[in-house]
Amino acid sequence: MTGFIIRRLLVTVITVLGAMILLFVILQLIPGDFASVVLGPRATPDIIESFRIKMGLDQPIYVQLFNFIFNAIQGDLGQDVLSHLPVRILILQVLPHTIVLALTSIVVAALLGIPLGAYAAAFKGSWVDRVLGVISISAITIPSFLAGLLALLIFSVYLQWFPAMGAGQSGNIADQIYHLVLPASALALGWVGYLARIMRASMLDEMTEDYVRTARSKGLKESVVVFKHALRGALIPVIAVIGVGFGNLLGGAVLIEIIFHRPGLGYLIYTAIRTRNYPIVQGGLIIAVILYSLANLLADLSYGSIDPRVRSE
Amino acid sequence: MRRIIKKLLAEPLAIAGVVIIIFILLVAIFAPFIATHDPQSTFPANRLQPPSRDNWMGTDNLGRDTYSRVVFGTRIALLVSLLAISFATLLGLTFGIISGFAGGKIDSAFLIFFDIIKSFPALLLAITIIAITGPSLPMLIIIIGITRFPAYSRLVRAQTLRVKGHDYILAAKALGVSVPRIMIKHLLPNVLGPVFIQAAMDIPIVITFEAGLSFLGLGVPPPTPSWGSILRTGYSFLRIAPYMVIFGGAVLMLTTLGFTLMGETLRDFLDPKLRKVV
């Protein structure tokens, strides 16, 4: 197991470093001079020159790349062009909102999806199973940003039950939860269906196992066999999927944050792109890559600790 | 192929999916005959109107007919998904076969390369590159293709590893057949099946992705009608003219539903373990 952990950690580190290099290359694609693009047409040559020196743009490209990676490893993600604040601070201000949104969504999806899937498996072939099957596939096919738009239209514009914008007053937990309901539900919807399907398949698989047959032959009640014995075994692959899901939701949160004008990593990067504030784009993407890779790493490790076959791959 | 068609026709949900897809395809092909207006003609006097006899789905902020824009948007959705997936498939086949066939360090390097691309949240990567290069149809296709190709590469690599130990490949090697010829003549036909299935399953994902980018104003440039841009305008006028979001969203949902229902059945050919999930 230790070998597996070290191997996976190494791959994650290499991947993140590779992603940083790729990101550096992508930002070199910006047409024209980086400093002129960032500072806009009104910047004088003197301002542009001092900006170039400050940002290290006067250095050879390989030195820039080395500095970029070296600084990022030390937690220095550069400076916001407009406010001159460190990008790290700006990201730390909004990151909790994104993590809370993604975590809430995955918890909601698990709390709804797992029981639905288990229930469908327990009544396999019945009309309950069919209806749940149609519901889960419908949930999967609704893109989260469309779910967000429709939720906004129905619950904010028409019914006025929930607020349309923002993340709530800071310090006021109740208000923040109130602001979280619509975005988290919209983001969770697809995953409810997905987890329900994975859970159902996993349960059906588990119900053919010997230990379930033994439990049945002992004369245990069917509900005990299904919901106590089979359920536990069936949860293993679902937990691994949830880990990957958290990473995906971090990415999926971008559109939801934009629709609900919620502060967050995605919203920060998007607004930075629109204002050509590339240091924020760069820093934000690095953090997004690290979070995404870490979520995948944790999912792999948890799966590896449960299923020995994964470790040998 | 016959096996796949037979299976599709045996599942009621798959039939529903195929019917929806045929409907969407017909709408795309016959768009000029089905649309009631020119999707790009503006009528400022007729802006933000609710559905009426003349404008079945209402009008947008420039007075353009939403129904006609939704109809023509079908073409963009299908065109982008077809071209982007073709591009992803091409990249996936090239890298996957080389990676699987070469093995060793080259294979490891390719695997890390695939992981690096995958480590970026796809949408954020796409909006960054498009914001830098400027939105255009070719750029959209290239970016979506790049964000999707690692999945194809991994699939093709796995298939290549499975096939490359077979006797006929070993025989071809022993006979001195060149490596590119082995790859194209012997490996390629044997890895294509799963790739096509993966491509079919990818269509709803790519359609949604394109709609998301167009929603952000980073998809197909205006005034070309696309579902994402209809939703974008609808979002701006959600309080006074919700029809764009309702109708644009309904068509997007219907299309992804059709392709997902078909894809679910095709998935059985890739992963029999998930059989009968729905």
Q: What is the pLDDT of residues A44-70, one digit of tens each?
A: 888 888 878 877 778 888 888 888 889
Question: What residues have CB less than 8 Å from A60, skipping those under 6 apart?
Answer: none
Contacts of A252 in chain B (CB under 8 A): 123
Residue of B nearest to A258 (CA): B216
pLDDT of residue B277: 41
Instruction: Round to whole Å and give the CA distance between B245 and B236.
Output: 10
pLDDT of residue B278: 37
| CATH class, range A91-307 | mainly alpha
Are A153 and B256 within 8 A, CB to CB?
no
Mean pLDDT, residues A13-38 taken together: 84
Q: Is A147 on the interface with B (CB under 8 A)?
A: no
Mean pLDDT, residues B39-46 taken together: 89
Closest-CA distance of chain A to residue B180, Å: 29
Question: What residues have CB less than 8 Å from B214, skipping those under 6 apart?
Answer: B220, B226, B227, B228, B229, B231, B232
Structure tokens at B21: 């897809």
Asked if residues B49 and B58 have their Cβ atoms less than 8 Å apart, the reply is yes
Which burial class, exposed, middle or buried, applies to A199 when counting CB atoms under 10 A from its CB (0-12, 13-18, 19+)?
A: buried
Q: Which of B116, B238, B261 sits opposite A137 (nearest CB)?
A: B261
pLDDT single digits (tens) B184-209: 888 888 888 889 888 988 999 999 99
Are B245 and A140 within 8 A, CB to CB?
no
pLDDT of residue B276: 43
Backbone region of residue A93 per phi and psi (left: phi > 0; alpha: psi in -120 to 50; beta: other values): alpha
Residue B86 has pLDDT above 80, yes or no: yes
More confident residue, B226 or B266: B226
pLDDT single digits (tens) A134-143: 889 889 999 9
Contacts of B270 in chain A (CB under 8 A): none
Mean pLDDT, residues B27-49 taken together: 92
Mean pLDDT, residues A24-47 taken together: 79
pLDDT of residue A309: 59
Structure tokens at A1: 């197991």
Q: Which of B119, B246, B278 sits opposite A133 (nearest CB)?
A: B278
Mean pLDDT, residues A152-176 taken together: 90
Confidence of residue A159 (pLDDT cuts 50, 70, 90): very high
Q: What is the DSSP string of B113-129?
A: HHHHHHTS-HHHHHHHH
Instruction: Round to whole Å and give the CA distance between A224 and B229.
Output: 52
More confident residue, B71 or A211: B71
pLDDT of residue A307: 63
Mean pLDDT, residues A271-300 taken together: 87
Structure tokens at A105: 């969504």
Domain locations along chain A: 2-73, 91-307
- Give, as one character, the DSSP assignment of residue A227: I
Q: Which amino acid is at A36?
A: S
Q: Is A107 on the interface with B (CB under 8 A)?
A: no
pLDDT of residue A155: 96
Average pLDDT of chain A to the nearest whole number:
86
Q: Which of B117, B215, B245 sits opposite A255 (nearest CB)?
A: B215
Residue B274 has pLDDT above 60, yes or no: no
Is residue A40 helix, strand or coil?
Answer: coil
pLDDT of residue A203: 87
Contacts of B245 in chain A (CB under 8 A): 149-150, 153
Instruction: Round to whole Å and give the CA distance between A149 and A90.
Output: 27
Residue B89 has pLDDT above 90, yes or no: yes
Instruction: Round to whole Å and give the CA distance between B87 and B93.
Output: 10
pLDDT of residue B70: 96
Mean pLDDT, residues B28-49 taken together: 92
Q: Which amino acid is at B258?
A: G
Residue A121 has pLDDT above 60, yes or no: yes
Confidence of residue B227 (pLDDT cuts 50, 70, 90): very high
Confidence of residue A306 (pLDDT cuts 50, 70, 90): low
Confidence of residue B64 (pLDDT cuts 50, 70, 90): very high
Question: What residues have CB less than 8 Å from A224, skipping those under 6 apart?
Answer: A215
Instruction: Round to whole Å and give the CA distance between A301 and B208.
Output: 31
Residue A41 has pLDDT above 80, yes or no: no
Among residues A182, A190, A202, A188, which one has the least CA distance to residue A135?
A190
Q: What percentage of chain A carries pLDDT values higher than 90?
A: 35
- Give, as one character, the DSSP assignment of residue B62: T
Residue of A nearest to B13 (CA): A134
Helices (H), chain A: 2-28, 34-39, 45-54, 61-73, 87-122, 127-141, 144-151, 173-206, 210-217, 222-224, 231-259, 265-274, 278-306, 308-311
pLDDT of residue B269: 66
Q: Is B235 on the interface with A (CB under 8 A)?
A: yes
Asked if residues A45 and A3 have their Cβ atoms less than 8 Å apart, the reply is no
Confidence of residue A310 (pLDDT cuts 50, 70, 90): low
Instruction: Round to whole Å and give the CA distance between A137 and A126.
Output: 17
pLDDT of residue A237: 80
Q: Is A57 on the interface with B (CB under 8 A)?
A: no
pLDDT single digits (tens) A243-267: 777 777 877 889 999 999 999 999 9
Q: What percentage of chain B carries pLDDT values higher than 70?
A: 96
